């Protein structure tokens, strides 16, 4: 039994319509798929920070402040937020390094100071991640220094970092003067908090 030309034409048109609809569906779905990595990369994390700050050379009460390398050596502190992969964060450890004019009474200069840092993250399911930071420190460390910067590598790359940190010399006040005979005060506790957004 032969099929008439009109039925053949109708069948061809139906097949073409179905194929076009399938292609359109794929194209419309593509933007949603493309957005998925961007949404996953967005971050909003808040953490406490604390540990020991070390000074090299040691801090002296007099004479004028001298250029000092400062190392924040953090300890694990609590966090709220999730990793780029969706795991809940349990703790973070903030470490930083910069140079600034320091003494027992001066905790930095008037000009913002560049520095570097890392954050070591631990998740509730036992994973460990790391972020590398480029930061700028401004303000007086003995009151409240401000840390701003960005994540340059690792978890949350491209996100912005903002924090407030304070070195507590009140607990070490006696030592700062007394240790001038031994090269100056070489460490003191610090605390604060920071956020990651991006």
Average pLDDT over residues 118-129: 97
Least confident of 31-35, 49-53, 140-144: 31-35
| Start-to-end Cα distance in the chain | 68
- Which residues, other chains included, contact 168 with Cβ-Cβ below 8 Å and sequence gap of 6+? 188, 189, 190, 191
Report field, pTM of the whole predicted structure over 0.85: no
Scanning the chain, the segments in alpha helix (DSSP H) are: 5-41, 173-178
pLDDT digits (tens, 9 = 90+) for 76-98: 999 999 999 899 999 999 999 99
Average pLDDT over residues 162-190: 83
Residue 29 has pLDDT above 70, yes or no: no
CA distance 145 to 127: 31
122: its two tokens: 């631990």
113-123 vs 160-167, strand pairing mode: unpaired
Average pLDDT, the chain: 81
């Amino acid at each position: 039994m032969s099929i008439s030309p009109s039925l053949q034409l109708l069948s061809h048109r139906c097949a073409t319509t179905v194929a076009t609809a399938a292609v359109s569906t794929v194209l419309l779905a593509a933007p949603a798929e493309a957005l998925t990595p961007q949404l996953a990369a967005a971050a909003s994390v808040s953490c406490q920070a604390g540990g020991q700050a070390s000074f090299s050379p040691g801090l002296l009460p007099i004479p004028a402040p001298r250029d000092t390398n400062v190392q924040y050596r953090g300890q694990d502190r609590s966090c709220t937020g999730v990793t780029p992969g969706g795991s809940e964060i349990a703790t973070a450890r903030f470490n930083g390094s910069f140079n600034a004019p320091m003494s027992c009474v001066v905790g930095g200069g008037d000009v913002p100071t560049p520095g570097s840092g890392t954050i070591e993250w631990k998740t509730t399911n036992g994973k460990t991640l790391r972020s590398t930071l480029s930061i700028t420190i401004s303000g007086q460390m003995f009151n409240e220094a401000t840390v701003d910067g960005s994540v340059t590598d690792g978890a949350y790359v491209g996100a912005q970092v903002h924090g407030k940190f304070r070195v507590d010399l009140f607990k070490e006040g006696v030592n700062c003067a007394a240790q001038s005979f031994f090269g100056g005060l070489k460490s003191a506790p610090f605390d604060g908090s920071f956020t990651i957004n991006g």
